[in-house]
Amino acid sequence: MGRLVDWPTRLNDHIEEWRHKKFEWGKADCALFCLYAEKAICGSSRFDDFIGKYRSAAGSAKALLKIGAGDLATSVGARLREIKVLEAQRGDVALIDTPLGDALSLVVGDKVAAMSKDGLIFLPLMSAKKAWKV
């Protein structure tokens, strides 16, 4: 799956659309932020089967067991090629640690954009534990 010609503009639009979205499981969470970013960049996503499958943290965990590979990192790694964090570029997906556990984020240069309860926050890329190529 390749990136669309106008992916930088589409990615910027996606980030602006999500900048102030309040976190909500199954509607505006870390996985969906990255899934819809992949759609913006490539025109489709390899994770469409996760849409509408959960509405809570427990539901997300069940979806990862049922249609994923058991946990967040393994599920993403089953569908995207893992790369070194320092090789990650704009639009790639990164795994960060949060007080609630692992979360997905989107590489936006030397930072990652991640969902928080009140919208996106931007953290140093070096805070990522893993990264995958989109």
Q: What is the pTM of this model?
A: 0.95
In the three-class reduction of DSSP (H, G, I as helix; E, B as strand; rest coil), residue 98 is classed as strand
Round to whole Å and give the CA distance between 74 and 58. 17
Say what percent of the chain tops pLDDT 90.
Answer: 95
Tokens of 95: 């795994």
Mean of pLDDT values over 79-83: 98
> pLDDT, tens digit, for every residue of 89-126?
999 999 999 998 999 999 999 999 999 999 999 999 99
Residue 91 has φ and ψ, to the nearest 5°, of: 95, -10
Round to whole Å and give the CA distance between 17 and 65. 30
Q: Which domains does the chain have, with CATH numbers?
A: 7-133 (3.90.1720.10)
Placement of tokens 């509607």 in the chain: 27
